[in-house]
Structure 1
Amino acid sequence: MGIFSRFTDIVNSNINSLLDKAEDPEKMVRLIIQEMEDTLVEVRSTSAKTIASKKELTRKITKLEQEAEDWQSKAELALSKDREDLARAALMEKQKAVDYASAVKEELAHIEEHIMKLQAETSQLQDKLSDAKARQKSILLRQQTVSSRLGVKKNLGSSKVEGALSRFESYERKIDNLEAQVESYDMGKKSLANEIAELEADESIENELEALKSKMNSKK
């Protein structure tokens, strides 16, 4: 038994409600789309047959109306020849054609009404089908996104990742230790630039000292 038992069930269905209740929304939406597509094929086939019937009835009405006109002409001809009996018989045949045409017109009106309703429902079905297909894409994208997130979560919690991070931190500590050793060897050592700067500072002080001595001697 399908998801929908009748055509109107599809048209009046609430796809959101069906998907919310489904244990496997992706599978459910596939089944909904499949049944809608199958129903649409059946509806279009029925529509084609109904339209063909409409054309056949239209042709029959035209033929009956032509027959009625022909009997009218025959009745007039018979009456012009003073054959009232033939004119009466011709008018009776005309009335039969008119009555038959009226009955066929009623049948045609019912078929046209049925076709209009079928077209409206088919349009609704196509809208539902488009909606279901859009939701199918959305569900697939959500599923892929969730699967990707789950993979990331699993990787973050895996022992491999934790082990790699631990080794990385260990390597960082080793590098820090090596850098500290290099810096300890350099402690207390003066660079060439520092030694020259110190010489320049000493010379400046000596010059200033000599200038001060000369100034003091000149005051004596």
Structure 2
Amino acid sequence: MGIFSRTRDIIAANVTDLLDRAEDPAKMIRMIILEMEETLVEVRASAARTIADQKEMRRHIGKLQGLQDSWTEKAQLALSKDREDLAKAALVEKQKAADMAEQLSHEIEVLDEALKVSEDDIAKLQAKLREARTRQNSLVTRMESAHNRLRMREAYAGEKVNEAFARFDMLERRVDMAEGRADALGLGQGQKSLEEEIADLHSAEKVDAELAALKASMTSSRGA
């Protein structure tokens, strides 16, 4: 079953409201556009049939006008031969042709009004179709943006990032332990020897260097 039951429904439809109430807006907008395109084709086909009917009626009116002229000539001929009865009969046939031509002219006027309505409907349908296609393009752009953001968040919340933070925590713990040992060794002791101080500096440099490298690696990963 379609979304719209007739052309007027499409023209009066609020596309934004339909999308807001849809569970799947992307699917809904595709269905809306498809129905609008199909309805536009149907309205144009109906207008084409109306135009064809009008042309046929005008041709028929032309033939009826020729028939009226023919009956007029026949009536004149009958009168010239003193056959008033035949002249009257010819004029009756002429009137029948005139009445039929008048009826067809009226039908053409009715079809003219229908064509004006169809032309107005086509213009409004085209406007609605442009609106729907614009909304579809907007939805596609928003969906792509949302997917990109999701991929970025998944990347930041991924296993590799978690492992890097775990290593970072471990290194910080190692630094704390090294500092703790250094502080503990100093308890109750006098001033360190020159060799001990130099050894402590080497140990601290290695830990600091590894910590700096890890930080640089994580910064580079986030920038990517």
In the superposition, the TM-score normalised over structure 1's length comes to: 0.73
SS of equivalent to 2:4? coil
Give the deviation of 1:165 after TM superposition. 6.2
Q: Which amino acid aligns with 1:173?
A: D
Cα distance per residue 1:165-219 (max 9 Å; x no partner): 6768969931689xxxxxxxxxxxxxxxxxxxxxxxxxxxxxxxxxxxxxxxxxx
For structure 2, the residue ranges without an aligned partner over 5 or more in a row are 172-205, 213-224
SS of equivalent to 1:38? helix
- Hey, what does 2:113 align to over in structure 1? 113
Change (3 A) 1:176 1:130: closer
- Hey, what does 1:173 align to over in structure 2? 208
Q: Counterparts of 2:19 and 2:207 in 1: how far apart (Å)?
A: 52
Q: Counterparts of 1:165 and 1:9 in 2: how far apart (Å)?
A: 58
Cα distance per residue 1:127-162 (max 9 Å; x no partner): 111211111111011000011111112222234124
SS of equivalent to 2:134? helix
Q: Counterparts of 2:165 and 2:70 in 1: how far apart (Å)?
A: 102
Once the two structures are aligned, what percentage of the paired residues are identical? 46
Quote the RMSD (CA, aligned, Å).
2.3
Give the deviation of 1:81 after TM superposition. 2.9
Q: Counterparts of 1:35 and 1:157 in 2: how far apart (Å)?
A: 43
| Contact residue 76 and residue 87 of structure 2 kept, 8 A | yes
**What does residue range 48-197 of structure 1 map to in structure 2 within 5 Å?**
48-164=48-164, 173-174=208-209
SS of equivalent to 1:101? helix
Q: Which amino acid aligns with 2:145?
A: T
Cα distance per residue 1:23-57 (max 9 Å; x no partner): 11100001101111222222222222222111111
**What does residue range 33-48 of structure 1 map to in structure 2 within 5 Å?**
33-48=33-48
**What does residue range 2-41 of structure 1 map to in structure 2 within 5 Å?**
2-41=2-41
Q: Counterparts of 2:52 and 2:106 in 1: how far apart (Å)?
A: 17
Q: Counterparts of 2:167 and 2:60 in 1: how far apart (Å)?
A: 92
Q: Counterparts of 1:173 and 1:105 in 2: how far apart (Å)?
A: 100
Larger Rg: 1
Q: Counterparts of 1:173 and 1:89 in 2: how far apart (Å)?
A: 123
SS of equivalent to 1:97? helix
Q: Counterparts of 1:11 and 1:176 in 2: how far apart (Å)?
A: 66
- Hey, what does 1:194 align to over in structure 2? none
Q: Counterparts of 2:146 and 2:82 in 1: how far apart (Å)?
A: 95
Q: Counterparts of 1:168 and 1:27 in 2: how far apart (Å)?
A: 46
Give the deviation of 1:78 after TM superposition. 2.1
Moved over 6 A (4+): 168-172
Give the deviation of 1:72 after TM superposition. 1.5
Q: Counterparts of 1:53 and 1:140 in 2: how far apart (Å)?
A: 44
Q: Which amino acid aligns with 2:21?
A: K
| Contact residue 75 and residue 91 of structure 2 kept, 8 A | yes
Q: Counterparts of 2:29 and 2:119 in 1: how far apart (Å)?
A: 24
